[in-house]
Structure 1
Amino acid sequence: MSELEKKFNETAEFVRSWHPAKTVSNEDKLAGYSLFKQATIGDCNIPAPGIFSLTERAKWNAWNALKGMSKEEAMQKYIDCIEAQKVKYA
């Protein structure tokens, strides 16, 4: 396992148990979600949800916007995103 993968896994584990002091914005939640999906699965591989499934549609749009981003780039951006959120929402 590479250093990047180790740091990514540590960051993902942190997020699972994190209780931020402030409410995380939907925009920041979507950023973390989409980067995590791109890093772990790759390009969005599910059909777009219906227009009335607002939350699922927003998640799909955020992930689909990262199409073509490499796993390594997504991992690093996820780590950077969460590190910034730790400071912002501490």
Structure 2
Amino acid sequence: MDARFEQAQADVKTLTSRPSNDDLLTLYALFKQGTAGDASGSKKPGRFDLVGKAKYDAWAKLAGTSAADAKTRYVDKVDGLLGRR
């Protein structure tokens, strides 16, 4: 799975069009959950950091998701964005 996850990280950089903000937040959250675990140990951004707060909140929603599941979902999301499904 780790090899597929690393390949998906490279593949996402080849997208010809920018994904939606929701897709970008999903990718960010799945990546962070897959590599760093739950967001609970990270400092929450201040209320004036809207982008940072949105990213943190998307990541925090995945609390309890295993790293393997997050990586699998990340790969699936990238495949979907690339039209591989």
Q: Verify: 1:27 aligned to 2:13, yes or no.
A: no
Q: Please, which runs of 5 or more residues in structure 1 have no aligned partner? A: none
Q: Deviations over 1:51-85 (max 9, x none)?
A: 11000000000001100000110010000011111
Determine the structure 2 residue equivalent to 1:61: 57
In structure 1, C-alpha distance between the alignment counterparts of 2:46 and 2:2, rounded to whole Å = 34
Q: Deviations over 1:17-76 (max 9, x none)?
A: 32x333311100000000000001111121211111000000000001100000110010
In structure 2, C-alpha distance between the alignment counterparts of 1:54 and 1:82, rounded to whole Å = 25
In structure 1, C-alpha distance between the alignment counterparts of 2:16 and 2:33, rounded to whole Å = 27
Say which SS state the counterpart of residue 82 (structure 2) adopts. Answer: helix
Aligned counterparts, 1:33-48, within 5 A: 33-44=28-39, 45-48=41-44
Determine the structure 2 residue equivalent to 1:79: 75
Determine the structure 2 residue equivalent to 1:11: 8
In structure 2, C-alpha distance between the alignment counterparts of 1:47 and 1:41, rounded to whole Å = 13
How high is the TM-score relative to the length of structure 1?
0.84
Q: RMSD over aligned Cα, in angstroms?
A: 1.5
